[in-house]
Amino acid sequence: MATEKLKTYSLSEMKDKYVGKVGTKKRDDFEYELRMDLLGKMIKTARIERHLTQEELGKLIGVQKAQISKLESSANSATIDTVIKVFKALKAEINFNVKLEDDYVSIAL
């Protein structure tokens, strides 16, 4: 019985093929949406770990429950100020890494 060797592909190769190459608008949009989705999931996970309802978290930062729901389902409409307020209310540390050419700037809030 002959065994066939299957070709394997990396996630990056699959994204290049089906989403677009790095640097294209389609790929950039995809990566942005993915990051915003992950940010929303982090907010929800932290809120649940703190035993807070969406309404309670909203009251802590001065927004309605609906805004927290939108953040958790997709944070792409959130301002950075709102995201910082949410994580501070959740007593979570926030780290931003920014690459400026060959240098990294790291900010912890």
| Residue 70 placed within a domain | yes
Joined tokens for residue 37: 């989705």
| Residue 30 placed within a domain | yes
Confidence grade of residue 57 (pLDDT, cut at 50, 70, 90): very high
Confidence grade of residue 93 (pLDDT, cut at 50, 70, 90): confident
| Residue 4 placed within a domain | no
Residue 43's pLDDT is what?
92
Residue 56's pLDDT is what?
97
Residue 109 has pLDDT above 80, yes or no: no
Residues 88/109, Cβ–Cβ less than 8 Å: yes
- Count of domains forming the chain: 1
Confidence grade of residue 75 (pLDDT, cut at 50, 70, 90): low
The parent domain of residue 85 ranges over 11-108
| Residue 5 placed within a domain | no
- Determine which helix (DSSP H) or strand (DSSP E) holds 95, and give its type and residue range: strand 95-100
Distance of CA 78 to the CA centre of its chain: 11
| Residue 29 placed within a domain | yes
| Residue 22 placed within a domain | yes
State whether the Cα torsion 54-55-56-58 is positive or negative: positive
| Residue 57 placed within a domain | yes
| Residue 6 placed within a domain | no
- 56: domain CATH number is 1.10.260.40
Helix axes 54-61, 80-89, angle to 10 degrees: 110
Whole-model pTM: value is 0.68
Q: Which residue has the higher pLDDT, 45 or 32?
A: 45
Whole-angstrom Cα Rg for the chain: 19
